[in-house]
Amino acid sequence: MNRRMFLQCGSSTLAVGYGLSLVGCRGTDAPDAAFAPYPHDPVRAENFTNPLFIPGAEGPLGVLDVSDVPLALTARTATFPLLAGRASPFLLFETSYAGKTFQNPIFRIKRGGHFAATLRNGLNEPTIIHWHGLHIPANMDGHPTDSIGPGKNYPYAFTVNNRGGTYWYHTHAENLTAKQAYGGLASFFIVEDDDDERLTRALDLKFGETDLPLVIQDKRFSAASELVYQPDATEKLMGHFGDIILVNLTPNPTLEIGPRFYRFRCLNGSNARIYRLVFMRGKQQLAYRVIGTDGGLLDRPYEVKDAFLAPGERLDVLFDASQLRQGDTVFLKSLAFDSMHNEGAMEMAGANRTARLGDSVEFNLLKLVVTRPANGPRAVPARLSQVEPIDVGRATVRKVRLELAGMRWRINGEVYRKDAFPIDARRNTVEIWELHNAQQSMPHPMHMHGFQFQVLSRQNSPKQIRALGGYGNGRIVSDLGWKDTVLVWPGETVRLAVDLSHDFGGDQTYVFHCHNLEHEDAGMMVNMRVRA
């Protein structure tokens, strides 16, 4: 959205009240600025001076505990002071409840609870909401063909039967998902169950203090500190990358912590960038525990030193700061890795990107500073949850190819057509999906609507994935548990177990697509019909 469009929409200024004091940001368009230090450069540790924005009881990312009261949720334009305290065009979902106003609220609900809301489209273009990871009827899921025009309404009403976990919601507007999600239309949807409550009690966690949702996004800004989304032809093919990293909408954030356990619910809300998460004290890589993935808690904690996080994925981690002393500083970073964006024929296609921040560098996400003395560690439960494996004894096999043809990314040779159903399945059946990514390709984070799955194996993985694959059949830690998004690297085959059981009435049509949002909008998406 450019400034003229924003002014024509009728803007309103969003008061955030957390008082960031930031330096101005130079525009990111100049190619001669590539990979040189710049304002808010995340490589430079000294830039990390801005207090991390913590979700509160109202306002931006306010935590809204869902009751039986229906909500009125409006998608609208606004301004938001992301950099230098300057108002930037922004898109958000807004609602009022119990005398409080929320922008992009973090919905929190008990498993088995009922959610009801009416979306009103206050934009000047179509939109719709997808409840990412939730197992709900297709007409509640946010299929792009359900997009509503300006001034129109869409009613949502469904029961949340998912396991406790970190889910999220975002726009899924037809051909506009990338632009609208980048502009701000996204937030968390937290489901709580008995397993989560036991963990909270065991570690004395408190949501918003020691249990923190962290949405990680990369953005680009103009010289006036305004959010910019103007992908060129190459970026539409490869994905749009930014060079300033925001965590909870905060550039270069810092968080004061005590020497105890912290639960960080990490969500990759970027359009295309993959992160490789590590905690570093100086040059020492610290261990942390992965306790959950897309579909909630794992069976037990898994200790790692780094893990990949692709667009759309969530990684729920415990960081033990009791090993630190008062005054210690730790950075949550993204390690350098081979992004494999230029494999074979991709180089001949002239694939490159213009953002200054590449994947070939290590950069910082969040600075953690220990400001209190130790008060004694707590023990992490040895068992977290029950993860029953899907019975694949009678499963049928479905082969799914990911490839580039005619300068468009395709699934089994198809690009999205609203009246075509390339994936046609039956209710209450189990399938094994073999996702094969062409060798001359790039990584694709593949997302399934409506159902979650389990990763069975990885084959022919690149070396950097094989080095992390210690969880049976080549799997990495982010493959464990229940998933709705999985990253498939060039030349790799990933096998999934998919249980298509549901009790919804009639045929259900969802979509299966790449969560590199530029790929999705360009047609790397197919309908998935599950017949009754």
336: its two tokens: 């350098």
Burial of 431 (0-12, 13-18, 19+ CB in 10 A): buried
Residue-averaged pLDDT of the chain = 91
Contact 185, 169 (CB under 8 A): no
Tens of pLDDT along 252-296? 999 999 999 999 999 999 999 999 999 999 999 999 999 999 999
pLDDT score at 354: 62
Residue 522's closest CA among 404, 414, 415?
415
**Amino acid letter, 108:** R
pLDDT average, residue stretch 21-47: 60
pLDDT at residue number 84: 78
Q: Is the pLDDT of residue 353 over 80?
A: no
Structure confidence at residue 469 (pLDDT): 94
In the prediction, which pLDDT does 323 show? 86
Structure tokens at 101: 């106003």
pLDDT greater than 50 at residue 18: no
Predicted pLDDT at 241? 95
Structure letter (DSSP) for residue 46 = G
Tokens linked to 507: 């045929």
Helix extents (H) in 92-231: 138-141, 177-183, 194-203
The pLDDT assigned to 29 comes to: 34
Please give the residue that has the higher pLDDT: either 350 or 443.
443
pLDDT of the residue at 280: 98
Max Cα-Cα span within the chain = 62
What value, to the nearest 5°, has the Cα angle with vertex 469 and ends 467 and 474? 125
By DSSP bridging, strand 525-531 and strand 423-426 are: parallel
To the nearest 5 percent, what fractions of the chain are helix, strand and coil?
A: 10, 40, 45
Q: Would you say residue 5 has pLDDT above 60?
A: no
Instruction: Tell me whether residue 37 is exposed, middle or buried, using C-beta atoms within 10 angstroms of its C-beta: 0 to 12, 13 to 18, 19 or more.
Output: exposed
Q: What pLDDT shows up at residue 375?
A: 66
* Rounded Cα distance, 272 and 443, in Å: 10
Pairing of strands 114-121, 211-219: unpaired
- Answer whether residue 302 shows pLDDT above 50: yes
For residue 137, give the nearest of 115, 164, 106 by alpha carbon.
Answer: 115
CB 447 within 8 A of CB 514: yes
Within 13 A of 59's CA, how many CA atoms are on the CB side?
Answer: 12
* % of the chain with per-residue pLDDT over 70: 90
- Hey, which bits of 111-233 come out as E strands? 114-121, 129-132, 153-159, 165-171, 186-192, 211-219
Residue 494: enclosing H or E segment and its boundaries?
strand 493-499
What count of other Cβ atoms lies within 10 Å of the Cβ of residue 26? Answer: 15
Domains of the chain (ranges; CATH) run 3-18+53-191 (2.60.40.420), 202-370 (2.60.40.420), 396-531 (2.60.40.420)
Q: How high is the pLDDT of residue 32?
A: 36
- State the Cα angle at 28 between 26 and 34, rounded to 5°: 110
**Residue 351 pLDDT grade (very low, low, confident, very high; cuts 50, 70, 90):** very low
Q: Give the rounded percent of residues in the chain with a pLDDT score beyond 90.
A: 86
Find the range with the poorest average confidence among 128-137, 140-149, 320-329.
320-329
Residue 321: pLDDT over 90? yes
pLDDT at residue 516, as a whole number? 98
How confident is the model over 436-450, as a mean pLDDT?
Answer: 97
Q: Is residue 183 within 8 Å of residue 127, measured between CB atoms? A: no
Question: Who's near 476: CB < 8 A, 6+ residues apart?
Answer: 307, 308, 458, 465, 468, 469
Contacts of residue 321, Cβ cutoff 8 Å, sequence gap at least 6: 257, 258, 259, 260, 261, 262, 330, 368, 370
**Structure confidence by residue, pLDDT tens digits, 92-132:** 999 999 999 999 999 999 999 999 999 999 999 999 999 99
pLDDT band for 340, please (50, 70, 90 cuts): very high
Check the CA dihedral 380-329-296-98 and report its sign.
positive
Q: Are 40 and 56 in contact (CB under 8 A)?
A: no
What element of type H or E holds 127? none
pLDDT of residue 374: 66
Q: Where are the alpha helices (DSSP H) in 384-482?
A: 463-466
pLDDT surpasses 50 at 442: yes
Do 488 and 242 contact (CB within 8 A), yes or no? no
Of 7 and 377, the one with more pLDDT = 377
Cα 217 to Cα 275: distance, rounded to the nearest angstrom: 10
Rg, Å, the chain Cα set: 22
Number of H-type helices and E-type strands within the chain: 8, 35
Digit-coded pLDDT (tens) for 149-207 = 999 999 999 999 999 999 999 999 999 999 999 999 999 999 999 999 999 999 999 99
Question: Taking a C-beta distance cutoff of 8 angstroms, is the pair 384, 66 a contact?
Answer: no
Rounded to whole angstroms, how far apart are CA atoms 216 and 171?
17
Note the pLDDT of residue 372: 81
Q: Enter the tokens of residue 334.
A: 């993204």
Give the integer Cα–Cα distance in Å for 470 and 489: 17
DSSP at 312? T
Q: What is the mean pLDDT of residues 347-375?
A: 76
Question: What is the reported pLDDT for 358?
Answer: 83
